Amino acid sequence: MDALALAAGVLTFLFCGDLLLQLLGAERGRDAAGRLGLALLLGPGALAFLLFVLSLCDVPLRPAILRGLAALTWAAWGVRFLATRRKVRADAPARARRHFDLASAALLVLFLLPVVIGAAFALVVPPFKDSLVIWSLKALVIFQDGSVYSPDLVAENRFLFHPNYPLLVPLAQVFLFGLRGAALEHAAKIVLPLAHLGIGLALFSYLRPRLGARRALALAALLAATPHFYRTDELYTFAGSTPSGYADPMLAALCGAACLQTLEWLARRQRADLLLAALFLGLAVFTKNEGAALALCVALATAAALLLDRLRGRALPRARDVALGLFAFALVALPWAAHRATLPARDENYPERARLEVFEQHAWRIPTLAAAALEEGVAAGRHGLLWPLLLCALVARRRRLLRRENAFLCGVVAGMAAIYFAVFVVTPLHTVELVRATAPRLFFHLAAAVVLFLGVLLAPRGRATRRDGLRPCE
């Protein structure tokens, strides 16, 4: 029964994500890998947010309601599937078969093996430490009480840290609990390996027209093999410890998906791409506090990329599309922000500490933090070769940095790095201990965006890169 409930939950996530892609019109022109990857990211987030809204409206999150929601999702997807099949012309030309050689097969194994390892250990390894008291325990409390208003989530005498942390991962796990009718503490952690798989497929689909299938698959395998996607730092050296409850893999995946969809919109100016990017950013805010910083960096980097376009004579996007994108983001981010304001804050208030006098008092930390950042960037045991490869690509392709796509991604990565660095400067906590515990995760948040940046930087000049035939600077 546990296996059936888990399989039903995964399919519900997939159907929900694919249904949303179709309703937005964002599935058009995508290959199967890209559509599957984005659906695996969008589905768990959308269902978790729906549970959050239902709970805010005092609808109890009981198994019967969660199973009914799954049944509605399956029915809606089935109706949509049958309707779209009737519209497909019977004489539509068949797609050309792609050559699949031994090297591609080896790269595919390298891509899938870490995902399988992470998923297997996620099903058998119990939650540990932070993952238990911040994420997984919240899922258990919400499921048992049927509400995000449970007093156990905010009680000071409970062993529950950070009551105001976002709820996407816990609520996605609650959905799986509901399908079984009992807490599946190990099996519910499958949510995070799904994000691992989804972002890899999405990046492969996006990079294949630029680099060719083999190189795109190599970059997807590079991301999949990043140790932080299936294990964390040396405190937990066994595979699967990161997917045991942390939200960091989900945030890393959403960061990459938001950047990918923003690039789609900058190149094609299609409303569906902008709406999808906005939804991914809203879900990032609902995943971890760092999602707000990501949304700010993506907005500023997008504005810079549009300014470059304007200087080169390209028209600005329609104001109506931008307004709809902002509305889609606010639709997801604001309900959580309003609820978070009612929760007790037992962590550091960094916006309040972002004052000039605080920076001046802690300026002595800057050399220490710079050295720690350099050391973390070359820590292959935690991040693989992502950051050294990015540095090499930036040096080799430095003349391409003013191209729209590169300027955007450089802005996102540099902006996130600057915000994280500023947080370490002003934090009231002990700097050395905080850096050792937190820096590996902060570098990991940008892993998918770094792989995307690598692919865009290394793309041969003059190659058709868009599904509509546009090139990066057009």
CB distance 51 to 174 below 8 Å: yes
Residue 50's pLDDT band, with cuts at 50, 70 and 90, is very high
Look at residue 465 and tell me whether its pLDDT is greater than 90: no
Helix, strand, coil % in the chain, rounded to nearest 5? 75, 0, 25
What residue type is 310 in one-letter code? R
pLDDT digits (tens, 9 = 90+) for 10-44: 999 999 999 999 999 887 778 899 999 999 999 99
Eight-class DSSP state of 227: G
Arithmetic mean of pLDDT, 218-234: 75
- Short-list 295, 308, 299, 297, CA closest to 267: 308
User: Would you say residue 218 lies in a domain?
Assistant: yes
Look at residue 305 and tell me whether its pLDDT is greater than 80: yes
Res 235: pLDDT: 41
| Three-state secondary structure of 116-181 | HHHHHHHHHCCCCHHHHHHHHHHHHHHHHHCCCCCHHHCCCCCCCCCCCCCCHHHHHHHHHHHHHC
Go through 44-76 and write b for each residue having 16 or more CB atoms within 10 A of its CB, e for each that does not.
bbbbbbebbebbeeeeebeeeebbebbeebbee
C-alpha 182: how far from its chain's center? Answer: 28
Sequence-distant (6+) residues with CB within 8 A of 73 are 12, 15, 16, 19, 47
Eight-class DSSP state of 466: S
Instruction: Report the C-alpha gap between 305 and 314 in whole angstroms.
Output: 11
User: Would you say residue 248 lies in a domain?
Assistant: yes
SS3 category, 315? coil
Count Cα atoms within 13 angstroms, Cβ side, for 231: 18
C-alpha 322: how far from its chain's center? Answer: 22
Taking the model in full, what pTM does it have?
0.90
Find the radius of gyration of the CA atoms of the chain. Answer: 22
- Short-list 179, 251, 136, 249, CA closest to 13: 179
Q: Which residue has the higher pLDDT, 276 or 114?
A: 276
User: Would you say residue 96 lies in a domain?
Assistant: no
Q: How far is CA 431 from CA 238, 365, 417, 438, in A?
A: 27, 8, 17, 10
pLDDT digits (tens, 9 = 90+) for 172-215: 999 999 998 888 767 777 888 899 899 999 999 999 998 998 99
Instruction: Report the C-alpha gap between 348 and 45 in whole angstroms.
Output: 26
Instruction: Report the C-alpha gap between 474 and 472 in whole angstroms.
Output: 6
Arithmetic mean of pLDDT, 247-275: 94
User: Would you say residue 90 lies in a domain?
Assistant: no
Residue 418's pLDDT band, with cuts at 50, 70 and 90, is very high
CB distance 282 to 329 below 8 Å: yes
DSSP character string of 36-79: HHHHHHHHHHHHHHHHHHHHHTT----HHHHHHHHHHHHHHHHH
Res 467: pLDDT: 47
Q: How many folded domains does the chain comprise?
A: 1
Residue 97's pLDDT band, with cuts at 50, 70 and 90, is low
Look at residue 94 and tell me whether its pLDDT is greater than 60: no
Res 201: pLDDT: 96
Res 132: pLDDT: 58
User: Would you say residue 88 lies in a domain?
Assistant: no
pLDDT digits (tens, 9 = 90+) for 352-380: 677 778 888 888 888 888 888 888 888 88
CB distance 115 to 224 below 8 Å: yes
User: Would you say residue 95 lies in a domain?
Assistant: no
CB distance 308 to 404 below 8 Å: yes
User: Would you say residue 255 lies in a domain?
Assistant: yes
Res 144: pLDDT: 92
Domain that holds residue 208: 2-71+105-458
Instruction: Report the C-alpha gap between 311 and 202 in whole angstroms.
Output: 31
Look at residue 470 and tell me whether its pLDDT is greater than 80: no
Query: Which tokens in the block code for residue 209?
Result: 């027209």
- CB count within 10 Å of CB 429 equals 13
- Short-list 448, 449, 427, 452, CA closest to 438: 427
Sequence-distant (6+) residues with CB within 8 A of 108 are 217, 221
User: Would you say residue 91 lies in a domain?
Assistant: no
* Averaged pLDDT of the chain: 84
Count Cα atoms within 13 angstroms, Cβ side, for 413: 24
